[in-house]
Amino acid sequence: MPESAKQREALTRDAIVTAAVSLADDGGLSALSMRNLAKQLGYEVMSLYNHVANKNELLALMADEVAAGIDEPLDGAQPEIDEEAMAMIRSVAVSARNALVTHPWAAPLWQRVMPGPARIHFMEILLRLFDQAGLPSDVAHYGFHAVVNHVVGYTLQEQEMMSNFDESDDLDDLARTFLSGVDRERFPYTVAHVEQHLAGDTGSSFELVLDLILDGLTRLDGTRSRDPGASMTALGHT
Amino acid sequence: MPESAKQREALTRDAIVTAAVSLADDGGLSALSMRNLAKQLGYEVMSLYNHVANKNELLALMADEVAAGIDEPLDGAQPEIDEEAMAMIRSVAVSARNALVTHPWAAPLWQRVMPGPARIHFMEILLRLFDQAGLPSDVAHYGFHAVVNHVVGYTLQEQEMMSNFDESDDLDDLARTFLSGVDRERFPYTVAHVEQHLAGDTGSSFELVLDLILDGLTRLDGTRSRDPGASMTALGHT
DNA sequence: CCGACGATGTGTACAGTGTACGCTTAAGCC
DNA sequence: GGCTTAAGCGTACACTGTACACATCGTCGG
């Protein structure tokens, strides 16, 4: 076999991951099958398994590849005041969000596979910033969860809507399809809500809610609520 | 064939959905195949397709079944003050969270399938409450998103961790496995964070973050803000 | 030089998935 | 009886991940 004539690249772990990412970028995760991937690379299916244990490991590597694309806030910078730390947290969150938006298939993966080195690095940066922001450690702990959850969850909801729903690639068409099936008499608020989306005057609620969370966290610093069960006190009365 | 002798129930849409739910409750979504489901019901695979268009429709029906399990806050009750409305929002959110916890497979579905009648009903209730809480309409709009996203996203992250990760069914074992692969020198904060989880002193951060969000929303209402909280402008938010 | 060896590529095969298609059987109605 | 319509079912197809055996290679010790 004159395989030397073939101009295919060497089959390495990195080449496989890169091809898988680009294959998922257009076509979504469902377009990524091992056979498909092998064909794209010019090899046969089982050759992939010499460099990747199984598809799950490949998916984990892909997720970490996305995590590696998150920008860090000025590498060695030490925030001097708490507000600076919070601002850096914000920028990291926005950057992570951007990474997930660029690769719509990544958000589902993010919560399904074990974090790789790049994502652990990202966690470390965020956790350190929370510590440097001067928050009490328990607030920092679930503040981290709140921010990460918002970044992943918000993007997930947004993207899965667009990509996984039936045939339409357009979000507006989708919303209209949804509206046409809803009883406008019985569900006026729902109809109004979706129409607000269609009107487009609800831009990036992502950053608004992010600020809401961050703002709430800094506020909890001073007036820390103690009993987690009866947290209605956090709503302001009593 | 003496199929009359078989004591199987009539094959109806509801029976199929119910069986599918219980099949997914133990064993997870991966245990739900059409063949499996048919066997459970005592029928053959293709018979299911007389009552359900395809597996996707079945999944949508299952998701809506879960949505139907969300409690409403005292059916006809009209909140008289804004704080009451917020409290009702909170209770609906907690109830929705409980429904998702009871059926761990539901959270992933929730964002993947079109909302059915029960979930639309749930959306309507929540949106009406946001309106009754006296929030400005834009705040109500993304407040709704913030709450729903938190409920689904938080549960999703929690559940997918437990169910989809490798072999261990125990979350502690999982965390320990994770820790053993992390460089404690390079990632001290990450290690500390996970160990906080292992120590178990981070109980239900779900409700804490929920209150954080709800509290932030009421504070954003200009008419009732009593605090010149300048932290948001300090964060550089335009 | 030569045989052994380990890494890599590949062909075949298997169990599993969703579901299209056509046949059979039963129920209701004229 | 004859017809229509719905429901159950058997077979078949395309597709998935991957286990396993085998072929081909470059390298190294003798």
Residues A82, A88, A92, CA angle at the centre, nearest 5°?
145
d(CA A12, C1' C4) / Å: 26
Q: For position A161, what pLDDT does the model report?
A: 63
Q: Report the alpha-carbon distance of residue A55 to residue A218 in Å, rounded.
A: 42
Share of chain B above pLDDT 90, in %: 58
Q: For position B138, what pLDDT does the model report?
A: 87
Q: How many CB atoms lie within 10 A of CB A228?
A: 16
Residues 6 or more apart whose Cβ sits within 8 Å of residue B125? B72, B92
Residue of B nearest to A146 (CA): B209
Say if the Cβ atoms of B193 and A141 lie within 8 Å.
yes
Say if the Cβ atoms of B231 and A237 lie within 8 Å.
no
Q: Higher model confidence: residue B13 or residue A160? A: B13
Chain A partners within 8 Å of B162 (Cβ): none
Of B142, B186, B205, the CB nearest to A209: B142
Phi-psi region of A77 (alpha: psi -120 to 50; beta: other; left: phi over 0): beta
Q: How many CB atoms lie within 10 A of CB A144?
A: 22
The H or E element spanning position A107 is: helix A106-110
The CA distance from B232 to the nearest CA of chain A, in Å, is 6
Q: For position A181, what pLDDT does the model report?
A: 81
Does the pLDDT at position B131 exceed 80?
A: yes
Contact call for residues B59 and B112 (beta carbons, < 8 A): yes
Chain B partners within 8 Å of A187 (Cβ): 120-121, 123-124
Two structure tokens written together for B57: 């429709």
d(CA B30, C1' D10) / Å: 26
Of B120, B189, B237, the CB nearest to A131: B189
Q: Higher model confidence: residue B7 or residue A163? A: B7
Does the pLDDT at position B221 exceed 80?
A: no
What does the radius of gyration of chain A's CA atoms come to, in whole angstroms?
22
Which one, of B76, B54, B69, lies nearest residue B21 by Cα? B69
pLDDT in tens, chain A (238 residues): 434 334 689 999 999 999 999 999 999 999 999 999 999 999 999 999 999 999 999 999 999 999 999 999 875 667 777 888 999 999 999 999 999 999 999 999 998 888 999 999 999 999 999 999 999 988 999 899 999 999 999 998 887 666 544 444 556 776 777 788 888 899 999 999 988 887 776 667 899 999 999 999 988 765 444 444 333 433 333 3
Q: Report the alpha-carbon distance of residue A231 to residue A229 in Å, rounded.
A: 6
SS3 per-residue string spanning A151-187: HHHHHHHHHHHHHHCCCCCCHHHHHHHHHHCCCCCCC
Does the pLDDT at position B71 exceed 80?
A: yes
The CA distance from A38 to the nearest CA of chain B, in Å, is 26
Chain B partners within 8 Å of A138 (Cβ): 201-202
Q: Higher model confidence: residue B74 or residue B217? A: B217
Residues A126, A104, A66, CA angle at the centre, nearest 5°?
45
The CA distance from A44 to the nearest CA of chain B, in Å, is 28
Share of chain A above pLDDT 70, in %: 81
Q: Report the alpha-carbon distance of residue B13 to residue A219 in Å, rounded.
A: 51
Does the pLDDT at position B42 exceed 60?
A: yes
Chain B partners within 8 Å of A166 (Cβ): 114
pLDDT in tens, A19-56: 999 999 999 999 999 999 999 999 999 999 999 999 99
Q: Higher model confidence: residue A32 or residue B193? A: A32
Say if the Cβ atoms of B237 and A207 lie within 8 Å.
yes
Contact call for residues B63 and B113 (beta carbons, < 8 A): yes
Of B112, B154, B164, the CB nearest to A164: B112
What does the radius of gyration of chain B's CA atoms come to, in whole angstroms?
22
Burial letters for A190-213: b for 16+ Cβ neighbours within 10 Å, e otherwise? Answer: bbebbebbeeeeeeebbbbbbbbb
Q: How is chain B classified by DSSP, letter by letter? A: --GGG--PPP--HHHHHHHHHHHHHTT-GGG--HHHHHHHHTS-HHHHTTT-S-HHHHHHHHHHHHHTTPPPSSTTPPP-SHHHHHHHHHHHHHHHHHHHHHSTTHHHHHTTS---HHHHHHHHHHHHHHHHTT--HHHHHHHHHHHHHHHHHHHHHHHHHHHHSSS---HHHHHHHHHHTS-TTT-HHHHHHHHHHHHT----HHHHHHHHHHHHHHHH-GGG-----THHHHTT--
Size of interface A-B (CB pairs under 8 A): 194
Torsion (CA) B19, B23, B24, B30 in degrees, nearest 10: -120
Range in A8-22, A28-42, B65-79, B210-224 with the lowest mean pLDDT: B210-224
Cα–Cα separations (whole angstroms), residue A136 to A79, A131, A140: 17, 8, 6
Q: For position B124, what pLDDT does the model report?
A: 96
Range in B56-70, B117-131, B205-219 with the lowest mean pLDDT: B205-219
Across the range B27-42, mean pLDDT stands at 96
pLDDT in tens, A181-203: 888 899 999 999 988 887 776 66
The CA distance from B208 to the nearest CA of chain A, in Å, is 7
